[in-house]
Amino acid sequence: MNIAHCLARHLPAILVAAITAQQAIAQSDISSFAFVQDDGTLKVSGTLIHLYGIYIPPTDKTCYTFVRPMPCGTRASLALDFKLGGDFVHCIERARRPDGSITASCKLGDEDLSAWMLQKGWAVALPDAPFEYAALEKIARARGFGIWGMPVDAIRKRP
């Protein structure tokens, strides 16, 4: 059997496999506007997304009164919301959770949002996160950024 005959015979199966693979990739990629939830998760194209490799600890709710309408939420979620600024995010699914939400690596342009949250001190690296994430958390902790900073009440009580 020559190559042309073999290719002609198997071409439909090859095309079906390629289309199926492309659809699987397309389903695991989500690109759209992101809406930050109070707990720091993202809602993108109707899908609830937990940022990969990090945990965002709950903090007190805060409201930014200099913006109208006045946004309220945890300090971490507000920081993430301001970072996104209405731009598109691109997320690649890493795991599906039992509740239907997903864990995904998300980027704003070329910037990894999980790494940004860690760098600014608004998240904790999970044990199975990349080494880089743990390093970013330690640097933010050492510098007193975000959740590692001194509470506002402690500043007021200093002599």
Q: How confident is the model at residue 30 (pLDDT cuts 50, 70, 90)?
A: very high
The answer to whether residue 55 scores a pLDDT higher than 80 is yes
Q: Which residue has the tokens 């902790």?
A: 141
Q: What is the pTM of this model?
A: 0.73
60-93 pLDDT per residue, tens: 766 556 655 555 667 888 889 989 988 999 999 9
Residue 150 DSSP code: P
| Cα 39 to Cα 110: distance, rounded to the nearest angstrom | 24
Q: What is the pLDDT of residue 57?
A: 86
Q: Which is more confidently placed, 149 or 108?
A: 108
| Cα 42 to Cα 89: distance, rounded to the nearest angstrom | 10
Q: Which residue has the tokens 């940022």?
A: 51
Residue percentage of the chain with pLDDT more than 90: 54
Averaged over 22-46, what is the pLDDT? 79
CATH of 28-157, one of 3.30.450.20, 2.40.50.90, 1.10.10.10, 3.40.140.10: 2.40.50.90
Tokens of 9: 């015979």
5-29 pLDDT per residue, tens: 554 564 454 444 444 444 344 457 9
| Cα 26 to Cα 14: distance, rounded to the nearest angstrom | 18
The answer to whether residue 98 scores a pLDDT higher than 90 is yes
Q: Where are the alpha helices (DSSP H) in 29-146?
A: 75-84, 113-119, 131-143
